[in-house]
A and B are shown apart, each in its own frame.
Chain A
Amino acid sequence: MSEYLIELKNISKRFGGVRALDDVSIAIRPGEIHCLAGENGSGKSTIIKVMSGIYTPEEGEILIDGNSVGRLDPIQAVHRGVQVIYQDFSLFGNLTVAENLALNTYLLEGRKRMDWPRARSMAREVLARLDVEIDIDADVESLPASGKQIVAIARAILAEARLIIMDEPTTALTRHEVDALFAIVRDLKAQGIAILFVSHKMREMLEISERLTVFRNGRKVAEGEMRDFDEPAITRAMTGLELDEEPYAPEIDPAAPPVLEVGDLRVAGIVHGVSLELRPGEIVGISGLIGSGRTELARALFGMEKAVARTFRVTGRDVFPRSVQEAIALGIAYVPEDRLSEGLFLTQSIERNMVVSILERLRSGLFLDRKAMRDKTGQMFRDMQIAAPSPDTAVGNLSGGNAQRVMLGRWLLTGAKILILNGPTVGVDVGSKAKIHRIIRDLAEKEGLAVLMISDDVPELTGNCNRIHVMHEGRFVAEFRGADMTEDNINDSLKALR
């Protein structure tokens, strides 16, 4: 018996002229929690597909239980106990939990008849094994993301998984749900099932994983026991760069007039009286659990949410934006959390995506001033350091980090004085993240932009903000600044809210 459950040796895989994997090896022991880290395009997804038999590598060997398996196809991979849980879970929202759980097994067994009683008892059994309570007769689409994930895990177990590969499993979960997931994962480990996390959320992975493999540009750049690594070391391995971020602590003149003053802002049923001041050059963070009202607060400031406030002053003027147009005219910009669905036109070029906010200003007569359009976006394209051949590239072809910079560029073109960022680096890899932070800090420091940064990522806030509000149930419940503004303090404050 081999020490390893699955072992990939010297795997290479090319797509056209691109080497997606270059002589990489990775090995996973039975019942181990292993983390595979790497930025977008590092070859993480390719290696998952090799392991699950979807891609056949040009070179290299795959061993399962110490025996070479030659060509691995998807059905064989499943038979050998390799299960992948994709980010979208691949579940059927229109079917019940029980049917979702039974379907794969039945299909695998080549059944003709749908055996409902057995499906339900299978479902009850496996959920009991995971020690979770989920209504097996509920439609899967009625479950929250965490519930869907549990169903996906249960389905993998039913397929007699010995290795469950989870692609970015914590992205859609709140901290509380991540803890619940980790409890299940430890339980699976106790039952001898190995877990491979594929993630770039280092902090969470440090918490749970025992071993680590890091990929960069299709090569393995680091591996070892998790205890031998810390966050900066992993980041260095992932990016090949030193990314020590210094905290942002510029001198803000307390006497300087605030650019935004909001008193007692309320959104019916969600935000219950929030007061806020923003000065030029200041970056103010908002932390809070999902459902704390932080997104609604941001949307209200941007004229997208019906709200009332005792005071609402922008550069000393009493005005309350009632629509997005009014907010833009006042110099307020908002970069939403879900930039793909709430902001960007994926099939359109970078240039068009950027100028959409200032089309009215680029008008000359009935037509658009093409030259002004080119000049303005060309400049912004360079300022934002977007990695694309030209501003004519479609946004759909960009990575998360670059897409986010297009979004930032769009709002900066409006000449905004107040920038509201909701999850500025969600789904962005580490290298890009640092670049975005640098751009935001430069804008605040040199251009006097006032920034309101909403984020789940506590280190992102402590690293970039002057002060941080913690929001809970529609109110600011704590404020941290200066020496108090540490990750531990904020995490403690957030924990206390649960």
Chain B
Amino acid sequence: MRSLQSTEAVIAAVLVVVMLLIGLINPAFWGVDNLFSLARANVVIGIMALGVLLIMISGGIDVSFPAISAAALYITVRTMVALGYDGVLLPFIAASVIGVLLGTFNAFIIERFRMIPLIVTLGTASIVRGLVLGLLGTSIVNINKMPKELIAFGKQDLVSVTAQNGATVGLTAMVLVYIGVAVVMHIVLRHTMMGRSVYAYGGDPESARRAGVNTRRTIYFVYCTAGLLAGFAGLLHSSMIWQANPRDFIGLELDVIAAVVLGGASIFGGRGSVLGTMIGVFTLVMIKNSLILMKVDTTWQRVVVGVIIIAATAITAWRDRKKLV
């Protein structure tokens, strides 16, 4: 655990340095409106990242969660529109259940056929995307058709202030949802035997089996929970941007995995923490956001994300390898 804490300290230090640098280049960074929009941009990616964190600790990887998120949000919203139903709680439960079901599919294939998670989740992603577009169509549900209560839910602000230019900016209340999910995830990972089993399984699957860990249950728990968070985050995203797009989140897997790795999780499994992941997500979102502030072309953001994922993986891999010696 000690090494993890020091890892978190290092990431936090990196974050602070990057923040100061960005602030120097562009003082607008420290503006309340920018900070609020940063916080807002953390919510959905952060919740997804917590699911990916869980999977990476178990030694697996998931690239299907953006597809799962898109499917969950689109199926839920289209069904609501079709039925003329409006509400908040039930739709979120529905989206989460869709996520769990797709996660179960991943877990089943991975556990039953002992297959490599990367390949399985690549396949799942493609199947889910294709099915959603093929069966439900490709039309975007816009603000005029979106269920009103869902929009109202996503609109809630925690505080709002008047910025220098006179516009009112608010800090979305959804950050509370994010923090709530993070706290629960931290407690699960750190203080339940299920969470510790995930670490044990990620550290050494064979030893975990010998120690009496129910490895089958662990795999299902990991992929189903990640699916749940993906489904939930999908609908949350929809309610925050007031639309439902079945083609949403394409390419997001790389950003999220980059953020989790940046947060100190090991690509070999067995290492990673909620706090580290949250810092990693914040750093990544901030860098991307600042590139926009600095008027860097969006295509260049892909380059930056690529560099971050390789650099962060190289550093953690180097750290983990050094420990093995």
Do the two shown chains form a genuine complex with each other? yes
Least CB separation from B266: chain A residue? A94
Query: What is the size category of the interface that chain A forms with chain B?
Result: 20 to 34
A49, B77: Cα distance in complex, Å: 56
Which B172-216 residues have a C-beta within 8 angstroms of A?
A: 190-197, 199-200, 202-204, 206-208, 210-213
In the complex where A99-B196, A114-B195, A114-B196 touch, is A93 in contact with B203 (Cβ < 8 A)? yes
- Contact check: which of A113, A137, A142 meets B193 at CB < 8 Å? A113
A91, B190: Cα distance in complex, Å: 19
Contact string against B for A residues 85-107, beta-carbon threshold 8 Å, 1 for contact and 0 otherwise = 01010111111100100011011
- Is A92 in contact with B193, judged by CB distance below 8 angstroms? no
Contacts of B269 in A (CB 8 A): 94
Contacts of A93 in B (CB 8 A): 203-204, 270, 323-324
A124, B271: Cα distance in complex, Å: 24
Contacts of B208 in A (CB 8 A): 92
Asked if B2 is an interface residue, CB under 8 A from chain A, the answer is yes
Asked if B167 is an interface residue, CB under 8 A from chain A, the answer is no
A271, B210: Cα distance in complex, Å: 43
A138, B2: Cα distance in complex, Å: 7
A134, B194: Cα distance in complex, Å: 27
Asked if B83 is an interface residue, CB under 8 A from chain A, the answer is no
- Is B323 in contact with A141, judged by CB distance below 8 angstroms? yes
- Contact check: which of B2, B211, B266 meets A139 at CB < 8 Å? B2
- Is B199 in contact with A90, judged by CB distance below 8 angstroms? no
Contacts of A88 in B (CB 8 A): 207
A27, B200: Cα distance in complex, Å: 35
Least CB separation from A75: chain B residue? B212
A116, B187: Cα distance in complex, Å: 12
Asked if B298 is an interface residue, CB under 8 A from chain A, the answer is no
A96, B197: Cα distance in complex, Å: 14
Main secondary structure of the interface of B (DSSP, over half): helix
- Is B1 in contact with A92, judged by CB distance below 8 angstroms? no
In the complex, how many angstroms separate the beta carbon of B254 from the nearest chain A beta carbon? 25
Least CB separation from B210: chain A residue? A90
Least CB separation from B190: chain A residue? A114
Query: What is the size category of the interface that chain B forms with chain A?
Result: 20 to 34
- Is B193 in contact with A112, judged by CB distance below 8 angstroms? yes
Contacts of B207 in A (CB 8 A): 88, 90-92
Contacts of B1 in A (CB 8 A): 96, 137, 139
Asked if B3 is an interface residue, CB under 8 A from chain A, the answer is yes
- Is A94 in contact with B196, judged by CB distance below 8 angstroms? no
Contacts of B193 in A (CB 8 A): 106-107, 111-114
A96, B203: Cα distance in complex, Å: 12
- Is B211 in contact with A107, judged by CB distance below 8 angstroms? yes
Contacts of B213 in A (CB 8 A): 107
A120, B271: Cα distance in complex, Å: 20
A111, B191: Cα distance in complex, Å: 11
Asked if A108 is an interface residue, CB under 8 A from chain B, the answer is yes
- Is A92 in contact with B270, judged by CB distance below 8 angstroms? yes
Contact string against A for B residues 136-150, beta-carbon threshold 8 Å, 1 for contact and 0 otherwise = 000000000000000
- Contact check: which of B3, B203, B266 meets A92 at CB < 8 Å? B203
- Is A108 in contact with B212, judged by CB distance below 8 angstroms? yes
Least CB separation from B209: chain A residue? A90
- Is A92 in contact with B191, judged by CB distance below 8 angstroms? no
A91, B207: Cα distance in complex, Å: 6
In the complex, how many angstroms separate the beta carbon of B265 from the nearest chain A beta carbon? 11
In the complex where A90-B210, A90-B211, A95-B199 touch, is A141 in contact with B324 (Cβ < 8 A)? yes
Which A137-183 residues have a C-beta within 8 angstroms of B?
A: 137-139, 141-142
Interface CB pairs A-B, < 8 A, 13 = A92-B204, A92-B207, A93-B324, A94-B270, A95-B196, A95-B270, A96-B2, A107-B211, A112-B192, A113-B191, A113-B192, A114-B190, A142-B323
A residues within 8 Å of B by Cβ?
75, 86, 88, 90-96, 99, 103-104, 106-108, 111-114, 116, 137-139, 141-142
Instruction: List 8 additional contacts besides A94-B269, A95-B203, A139-B323; criterion CB under 8 Å.
Output: A90-B206, A92-B207, A93-B324, A96-B1, A103-B211, A104-B211, A107-B211, A137-B1
B residues within 8 Å of A by Cβ?
1-3, 190-197, 199-200, 202-204, 206-208, 210-213, 266, 269-271, 323-324
Closest 4 CB pairs of A and B: A94-B270, A90-B207, A94-B203, A92-B203
